[in-house]
Amino acid sequence: MLHERPQRRLLDDPGVARAGAGPRHGAMPSRRVALAGLFVAMAVTASAAWPGTIATAADAGEDRGITIQVTSNGWHTAIVVPRAAMPADAVPEAADFPDTAYLGFGWGDAEYFPEPEPTFAMTLRAGLRPTPAVMHVSGLDLPVGVTFPSVEVVDLTVTASGFRSLIGFLHDSFARGGADRVAASAPGLYRFSKFYPATGRFHMLNTCNTWTARGLAAAGLPVEAGGTRMADDLMTQLRPLARTRATK
């Protein structure tokens, strides 16, 4: 069972408060902190030479709004959407999380992201050359701020058409190889999450936070995706757009 695996904390594991649904990992080991610091330095250096583009806002004439959330633990960002607002046939992999109120989506390096004990070599491979990616999907029964009380949560309102575009972006982020649905490739970070093969290639100029920014841009939010590498690159853009909550 997942909770019987060695307890350690991945780079993007913010800690889980909900009873009976704790993370598979304990405190972040010093080696991971050091490796994360290395990746930060690599990404910051590369960002200085990478141009960005500004996404346009969604159709202003559409007044129906849908609230989504973006979470950050300082390293990694993810997108959380209300399950009830999703079309029934959207993102077939969501069927692996029946009866959940929210779905969280994150993207990252296929080797480093799920690895219990990442090595220095893994960090270099993830940062210096394009590598395969994975999607991390979580099925949440409670609001994300309750489930993950230590993360920063930003509420964002998008139009109905913007939400449909975001769901299309999430759908297209899964690598299905021509099939209607892809099976999970590995257990997730939590007992209520799974990893799946993803489209795209991860590298220091295309990180998990770049992916999140592209999704928000697809939803019509005025987010600069091209220059977004680190979590705070994105959150700095989002905080003025909506009320930030430490908890919900």
Across 197-215, average pLDDT: 94
pLDDT digits (tens, 9 = 90+) for 60-79: 334 569 999 999 999 899 99
What is the reported pLDDT for 22? Answer: 43
What is the reported pLDDT for 89? Answer: 85
Q: How confident is the model at residue 122 (pLDDT cuts 50, 70, 90)?
A: low
Sign of the torsion formed by the C-alpha atoms of 234, 175, 116 and 154: positive
Cβ neighbour number for residue 116 with a 10 Å cutoff: 11
The answer to which of 12-16, 61-65, 84-88, 177-181 has the lowest mean pLDDT is 12-16
Contact 221, 162 (CB under 8 A): yes
- The DSSP string of 1-24 is -GGGS-----TT-----STT--BS
Q: How many helices (H) and strands (E) does the chain have?
A: 6, 8
Across 7-30, average pLDDT: 37
The Cα angle at residue 105 between residues 87 and 229, in degrees rounded to 5: 130
pLDDT digits (tens, 9 = 90+) for 227-245: 899 999 999 999 999 754 4
Check residues 71 and 45 and name the one with the higher pLDDT: 71
What is the reported pLDDT for 135? Answer: 98
What is the reported pLDDT for 24? Answer: 43
What secondary structure, in 3-state letters, does 57-77 show? CCCCCCCCEEEEEEEECCCCE
Domains contained in the chain, number: 1
In the predicted structure, residue 166 carries a pLDDT above the cut 90: yes
Give the contacts of 164 (CB within 8 A, at least 6 positions apart): 87
Identify the three-state secondary structure at position 112: coil
Sign of the torsion formed by the C-alpha atoms of 94, 212, 113 and 73: negative
Q: Which domain holds residue 44?
A: 2-245
Segments of the chain assigned E as strands? 65-72, 77-82, 102-109, 131-140, 152-159, 186-187, 193-202, 244-245
Q: How far apart are CA 149 and CA 161, in angstroms?
A: 30
Contact 166, 215 (CB under 8 A): yes
